[in-house]
Amino acid sequence: MTERRRYPSDLSDARWELVEPILIAWRAERRGRGLDIGRPPDHDLRSLLDAILYVNRTGIP
Protein backbone atom coordinates (compact mmCIF):
# COMPACT_ATOMS: atom_id res chain seq x y z
CA MET A 1 0.00 0.00 0.00
CA THR A 2 1.37 3.41 -0.90
CA GLU A 3 1.61 6.27 1.54
CA ARG A 4 -1.09 8.84 0.88
CA ARG A 5 -0.21 12.42 0.09
CA ARG A 6 -0.24 14.79 3.06
CA TYR A 7 -2.20 18.03 2.78
CA PRO A 8 -1.64 21.30 4.66
CA SER A 9 -5.01 20.81 6.37
CA ASP A 10 -3.97 17.44 7.88
CA LEU A 11 -3.44 17.16 11.61
CA SER A 12 0.11 17.19 12.88
CA ASP A 13 1.26 14.21 14.92
CA ALA A 14 1.19 16.30 18.11
CA ARG A 15 -2.41 17.40 17.54
CA TRP A 16 -3.47 13.87 16.61
CA GLU A 17 -2.09 12.62 19.94
CA LEU A 18 -4.46 15.04 21.70
CA VAL A 19 -7.54 14.02 19.70
CA GLU A 20 -6.97 10.28 19.28
CA PRO A 21 -8.03 9.12 22.79
CA ILE A 22 -11.29 11.05 22.51
CA LEU A 23 -12.20 9.56 19.14
CA ILE A 24 -11.26 6.03 20.17
CA ALA A 25 -13.41 6.35 23.31
CA TRP A 26 -16.28 7.74 21.20
CA ARG A 27 -16.07 4.84 18.76
CA ALA A 28 -15.97 2.27 21.58
CA GLU A 29 -18.93 3.91 23.33
CA ARG A 30 -20.99 3.97 20.11
CA ARG A 31 -20.28 0.29 19.42
CA GLY A 32 -21.08 -0.59 23.04
CA ARG A 33 -24.53 1.01 22.90
CA GLY A 34 -25.62 -1.04 19.91
CA LEU A 35 -26.06 -4.74 19.59
CA ASP A 36 -22.48 -4.90 18.33
CA ILE A 37 -23.62 -6.54 15.11
CA GLY A 38 -22.30 -5.92 11.66
CA ARG A 39 -18.82 -5.33 10.40
CA PRO A 40 -16.25 -3.67 12.59
CA PRO A 41 -15.20 -0.22 11.40
CA ASP A 42 -12.51 -0.42 8.75
CA HIS A 43 -11.74 3.26 8.30
CA ASP A 44 -8.86 4.92 10.06
CA LEU A 45 -10.09 7.66 12.40
CA ARG A 46 -7.18 9.94 11.55
CA SER A 47 -7.91 9.68 7.82
CA LEU A 48 -11.56 10.50 8.44
CA LEU A 49 -10.70 13.55 10.53
CA ASP A 50 -8.15 14.71 7.95
CA ALA A 51 -10.84 14.44 5.26
CA ILE A 52 -13.29 16.49 7.34
CA LEU A 53 -10.66 19.17 7.93
CA TYR A 54 -9.82 19.24 4.21
CA VAL A 55 -13.46 19.84 3.26
CA ASN A 56 -13.81 22.44 6.01
CA ARG A 57 -10.77 24.43 4.88
CA THR A 58 -11.07 24.13 1.11
CA GLY A 59 -14.75 23.57 0.43
CA ILE A 60 -13.57 21.10 -2.26
CA PRO A 61 -13.24 23.59 -5.11
What is the full per-residue pLDDT of the chain (61 aa) written as tens digits? 567 788 888 999 999 999 999 999 988 888 777 766 777 778 889 999 999 999 998 887 7
Q: How many CA atoms lie within 13 A of 19 on its CB side?
A: 13
What is the pLDDT at residue 14? 95
Cβ partners under 8 Å of residue 53, min gap 6: 9, 10, 11
Cβ partners under 8 Å of residue 25, min gap 6: none
Question: d(Cα 56, Cα 9) in Å, to the nearest integer?
Answer: 9
